[in-house]
Amino acid sequence: MLLQRAPRSTLRNGSGLFKSLFHSTPSARAQLDHTHQFVVVGGGAGGLAVGSWIRRKYGENSLAIIEPADTHYYQPMFTLVGGGAKKMDATARPMASLMPPDAKWVRSSVTEFRPDENYVVTADGQRVGYEYLVVALGLEVKYDGIKGLQPLLEDPQSMVSTNYSPLYASKTFQNIQRFTGGNAIFTMPPLPVKCPGAPQKIMYLAEDYWRKHGVRDETTVTYNTALGVIFGVKKYANSLLKVVEERDIKLNFQRKCVEITKNEAIFENTQEGTIETYKYDFLHASPPQGPLAMMKGQPISDEIGWVDVDKTTLQHRRYPNVFGIGDCTNVPTSKTAAAVAAESAILKTNIAAVVKGLNPSALYDGYTSCPLITGYGKTILAEFDFNANPLETFPFDQGKERRSMYHLKKDVMPELYWEGLLKGLWGGPAIARKIMHLGTRE
Ligand code: FAD
Ligand code: UQ1
């Protein structure tokens, strides 16, 4: 049914913002298929976290979530799947089981944002109107960013895999198991990368596996990273450099993987401006990543295609009724589910303020976290802020490899994700951190 856009009677709380938006946009009389107080774009970590909270706070019929996928994946577990410590089944749940009750699920992709008229357009042609929009559509893994990668991933016989896709993370473990020695290469693309520790975590698991299975002596393990550092936070970088040295891993900086053939991986040495070819017998690829192609040129995007939000309030810089969360935004922090959790706490406060006609007051500090698995039973829990300063939850030195942090990652985090974050109940560890550091620091 075609309806007129949001009738004024549905504009809640007498928000001055929306009265003025309504009056200032004569072109807003577009024919809409349906209109909601809140529309969330994306049913991933950020979309479900904020959507679940919206549904609880603003009640029935307040919310539509636009999401094309039938399955939701807990992506942080892909590393453990690749390392054989979890099964792929454990990462996946039907989207229908995770949608907040009574939320309207629009099973399509957004193809166009019309923020001046407060609606979005979907791939199946619906125009969905909103009063408030939350954009949480993640990022794109660009498999075609490395020439030759896609067909090798698809070939079950090849020794090439990636944990960046639910289609290939299990293949990583199959390849680790059938590897009989030789050159094992792990690649890291230029930033942005979701969970920038993931390309090396799988290397430490594989190395540990080969050591335990008598293959390590016949193997050269190489980490070729496009970056100039092993990790962006000095404290954890120092710990990782020690791990790399102790485990006899070859570490090459400024090496960008550009092509993979049946037996060789080709890297651009970005420092020297030369091309280097490495023979491989096992290869774990981490493809380049960036904004979804459809985001380029959208009115809510910056020049690259990221959703253009204020990095502290997460409110859109030009459209005050639009908010962004997670991997799709230009917030300058490492793109992780941990960041999504902390951002969701900020958004809850700021959306509630804006709905009441107030200014957003909660400020994001850039909190993000990367549980750096360094072997079966060992993890360095990196947590840090916008300035790459550690922001640790626990009252012990998290720069050390610890069994407890491995169990936190493997056994506690999944529950925190499914039962806490996705239900809008977990807003990151800021409160726990303050309690644990009572009397010691902030
Ligand atoms: P996503 O969870 O990716 O969700 C985006 C959603 O938007 C998807 O459901 C998608 O289908 C949907 N969508 C896409 N296009 C459209 C469209 N046009 N219209 C509507 N919907 C659309 N994080 C950690 O905190 N710790 C870790 O240890 C960790 N390890 C990781 C390891 C790997 C291998 C990977 C791949 C990720 C890891 N992450 C980790 C990162 C974490 O998974 C992401 O940062 C997090 O999922 C981001 O949430 P999001 O909501 O922004 O995006
Ligand atoms: C976190 O909140 C989170 O999201 C649920 C993750 O993703 C799975 C994480 O990896 C981490 C480390 C956190 C932070 C939580 C704690 C308790 C330190």
Judge whether residue 377 has pLDDT over 50.
yes
Helices and strands per DSSP (H, E), number in the chain: 12, 21
Cβ partners under 8 Å of residue 382, min gap 6? 197, 231, 233, 236, 369, 370, 371, 372, 390, 398
CATH topology of domain 142-288: FAD/NAD(P)-binding domain (3.50.50)
Judge whether residue 341 has pLDDT over 70.
yes
* CA 75 to ligand 1: nearest atom: 43
What are the angstrom distances between the C-alpha of 29 and each of 14, 116, 151, 361?
Answer: 20, 11, 48, 32
State in Å: Cα 348 to ligand 1 middle.
19
Lookup: tokens for 338: 């941990």
Mean pLDDT, residues 36-62 taken together: 97
Q: What is the pLDDT of residue 29?
A: 55
State in Å: Cα 338 to ligand 2 middle.
4
Q: Is 394:441 a contact under the CB 8 Å cutoff?
A: no
State in Å: Cα 9 to ligand 1 middle.
36
pLDDT digits (tens, 9 = 90+) for 259-269: 999 999 999 99
Lookup: tokens for 55: 């549904």
Q: Answer whether CATH 3.90.79.10 is correct for domain 8-139+291-355.
A: no
Judge whether residue 438 has pLDDT over 90.
no
Q: Which residues line ligand 2 (CB under 6 A)?
A: 76, 337-338, 341, 369, 371, 393, 413, 416-417, 421, 426, 428-429
The region, left, alpha or beta by phi > 0 then psi within -120 to 50, assigned to residue 118 is: left
State in Å: Cα 268 to ligand 2 middle.
34
**Best residue for ligand 2 mutational test, from 73, 74, 369 (most atoms within 8 Å of Cβ):** 369
- In degrees, rounded to 5, the angle at the alpha carbon of residue 424 between the alpha carbons of residues 421 and 426 is 50
Mean pLDDT, residues 176-192 taken together: 98
- In degrees, rounded to 5, the angle at the alpha carbon of residue 149 between the alpha carbons of residues 147 and 152 is 135
Looking at ligand 1, which residue's alpha carbon is closest to its atom 2?
Answer: 44
Mean pLDDT, residues 349-369 taken together: 98
3-state helix, strand, coil in the chain (%, to 5): 35, 25, 40
How far is it, in rounded angstroms, from Cα 182 to Cα 281? 6
How far is it, in rounded angstroms, from Cα 180 to Cα 214? 9
Looking at residue 420, what DSSP letter applies? Answer: I
* CA 416 to ligand 2: nearest atom: 5
3-class DSSP state of 274: strand
Q: What is the pTM of this model?
A: 0.94
Residue whose entry in the numeric block shows the structure tokens 């990462």: 91
Band (439; pLDDT cuts 50, 70, 90): low
Q: What is the pLDDT of residue 264?
A: 98
244 or 24, greater pLDDT: 244
- The average confidence (pLDDT) of the chain is 93
> Which ligand is located closest to the Cα atom of residue 86?
1
> Which ligand is located closest to the Cα atom of residue 140?
1
State in Å: Cα 242 to ligand 1 middle.
30
3-class DSSP state of 378: strand
State in Å: Cα 113 to ligand 2 middle.
31
How far is it, in rounded angstroms, from Cα 72 to Cα 387? 32
Residue 119's DSSP bridge partners are 114, 129
Q: What is the pLDDT of residue 441?
A: 56
**Mean pLDDT lowest among 59-63, 74-78, 94-98, 216-220:** 59-63
**Mean pLDDT lowest among 8-22, 300-314, 392-406, 409-423:** 8-22
Lookup: tokens for 411: 């056994």
State in Å: Cα 335 to ligand 1 middle.
9
Q: Which residues line ligand 1 (CB under 6 A)?
A: 41-47, 66-69, 75-76, 78-79, 109-110, 136-138, 163-164, 194-195, 198, 292, 294, 326-328, 335-338, 340, 369, 371
Q: Is 220:184 a contact under the CB 8 Å cutoff?
A: yes
* Domain residue ranges in the chain: 8-139+291-355, 142-288, 368-436
How far is it, in rounded angstroms, from Cα 413 to Cα 420? 10
Residue 370's DSSP bridge partners are 382
**Best residue for ligand 2 mutational test, from 416, 422, 431 (most atoms within 8 Å of Cβ):** 416
Mean pLDDT, residues 125-149 taken together: 98
Domains 8-139+291-355 and 142-288 share a fold: yes
Q: State the catalytic residues.
A: 195, 370
pLDDT digits (tens, 9 = 90+) for 310-335: 999 999 999 999 999 999 999 999 99
Looking at ligand 2, which residue's alpha carbon is closest to its atom 17?
Answer: 429
Residue 268's DSSP bridge partners are 256, 275
> Which ligand is located closest to the Cα atom of residue 383?
2
**Best residue for ligand 1 mutational test, from 48, 52, 53, 67 (most atoms within 8 Å of Cβ):** 67
Sheet containing 249-252: give its strands across: 160-161, 282-284, 182-188, 219-225, 249-252
How far is it, in rounded angstroms, from Cα 348 to Cα 355? 11
Neighbours of 249 (CB within 10 A): 19
How far is it, in rounded angstroms, from Cα 101 to Cα 104? 9
Band (440; pLDDT cuts 50, 70, 90): low
> Which ligand is located closest to the Cα atom of residue 46?
1
Judge whether residue 27 has pLDDT over 50.
no
Alpha helices in 190-314 (DSSP H): 198-212, 234-246
Cβ partners under 8 Å of residue 124, min gap 6? 108
